[in-house]
Amino acid sequence: MSKKKRPKQRAEFRKNYQGRVRTGDLTRDFHDGKSDQLADVRKSERVSGKGELTRKRTVAEDESVNAGAGNENLLYGRVISVHGLKCRVLDDQGNAFECAIRQVLKSMSIDGRTAVVAGDRVRFRAESSIDGMIEQVEPRHGIISRTSRGQQHILVANVDYLLIIASAASPEIKPVLIDRFLLTAAQCNVQPILVVNKVDLIEPVLLQQLIGVYASLGTRVLMTSAETGVGVDYLRHLLAGKQTVLAGQSGVGKSSLLNEVQPGLGLAVGRVSDDNDKGRHTTTASRLIPLDAGGAVFDTPGIRQFKLWDISASEVAGLMPDLRPYVSACRYPDCLHLSEDDCAVKNAVADGRVDARRYDAYCHLLENDLLLDSI
């Protein structure tokens, strides 16, 4: 019986990921008295080229691995957190491993800053009861990412919900930041949920108009207070059995809410500065926290600026549910709805069919972020 061929795929690698070593040293041979042999040596030496490995390489997969047979040390797991070159991985039996990343994964040419991120489903080789080596990363879905230094910075992968945490006060709610998270959720096909925390600090009626705008867009809005427990039971029920990422600026109470949702977590909680009304970072890296009720949440570092990834200026209006119905009615097909004539979006704002604050947030995003980067 003929042996089955292993499936192969072409993978692109980073430029100059492998150094080249010269096979000979003409100067040393000359000083060693081997000058008579130099006549037979090629007169030119190639100093550029692809080296021993090209930038594209065929990577073969082991079918026995895909079938779950073969090497008993090859396990399935999920990345809980990433710290430098080490990843903490939880296998399907609940055992934790400190894993390194296989060199071939780190050498692949990718848009992201790292080859492995929190939330990844991986295959790894257990080298001891606590250490391992990540061999392969499973295909991702539900990716939440932003732009960082011109590269894709993936915060988490494989999530169902994007829980946007804002605070009613201390620090003040930032609609522009909320809109950026909503755009990311629409781009990644992840369901967004807006949680307004610290409602005990103000009269909730003051938030009614703003919350009404987001609710009219079809976004689920929940008002909570980690201090008084308002909305915590509903939030706990909402997170059960789901993979959820928490996102928001520093100081809005993400860790405090998680401590209330699952008592006993003991996550570090910081306080908001009285000088600049900004929170301090208590979470330094994205990490997965399994929930007793099933599912898991990803606690992410506080974000003061969220720069969109892979969303162009011309795509923003189409990703905003309240602006989308008017986009195709503009006079110009490439209308950005800023200063163009006969713009259906601007007419809708003037007539009160689109909330003026949402349009202001749209203009702020294009003029101070996306269009500025394209200049």
Domains of the chain in start order, with CATH, are 63-137 (2.40.50.140), 144-299 (3.40.50.300), 313-374 (1.10.40.50)
Highest-pLDDT range among 184-193, 301-310, 327-336 = 327-336
- How far is it, in rounded angstroms, from Cα 178 to Cα 214? 10
Query: Which residue would you say has higher pLDDT here, 54 or 154?
Result: 154
23-52 confidence digits (pLDDT tens): 556 666 666 666 555 555 555 555 554 444
Q: Is 228 helix (H, G, I), strand (E, B) or coil?
A: coil
For 7-19, write each residue's pLDDT tens digit: 555 556 555 545 5
What is the DSSP code (8-state) at residue 367? I
- Measure the CA–CA gap between 145 and 309, rounded to whole angstroms: 7
What does the pLDDT look like over 75-126, one tens digit per residue?
999 999 888 788 999 998 989 999 999 888 877 645 556 789 989 999 999 9
Alpha carbon separation from 314 to 44, 84, 147, 317, 374 (Å, rounded): 52, 36, 17, 7, 12
What's the confidence (pLDDT) of residue 285?
65
**Using an 8 Å Cβ cutoff, are 294 and 241 in contact?**
yes
Confidence at residue 129, expressed as pLDDT on a 0 to 100 scale? 87
Q: Which residues are annotated as a binding site for Zn(2+)?
A: 330, 335, 337, 343
Is residue 159 classed as helix, strand or coil in its secondary structure?
coil
Q: Is residue 303 predicted with pLDDT exceeding 80?
A: no
Q: Mean of the per-residue pLDDT values for the chain?
A: 79
pLDDT bracket for residue 186 (50, 70, 90): confident
Q: How far is CA 333 from CA 227, 329, 353, in A?
A: 50, 9, 21
Cβ-based neighbour number of residue 212 at 10 Å: 12
Full DSSP string of 239-286: HTTSEEEEE--TTS-HHHHHHHHSTT-------B-TTT--BPP---S-
Q: Cβ of 9: how many Cβ atoms within 10 Å?
A: 9
Determine the pLDDT at residue 107: 73
pLDDT of residue 75: 93
Confidence class of residue 66 from pLDDT cuts 50, 70 and 90?
A: very low
Q: Which residues of 336-345 are buried (b: 16+ CB within 10 A; e: fewer)?
A: bbeeeeebbb
Residues making up the binding site for GTP: 197-200, 248-256
For the segment 193-206, the average pLDDT, to the nearest whole number, is 93
Residues annotated within the binding site are 197-200, 248-256, 330, 335, 337, 343
| Other C-beta atoms lying within 10 Å of the C-beta of residue 195 | 23
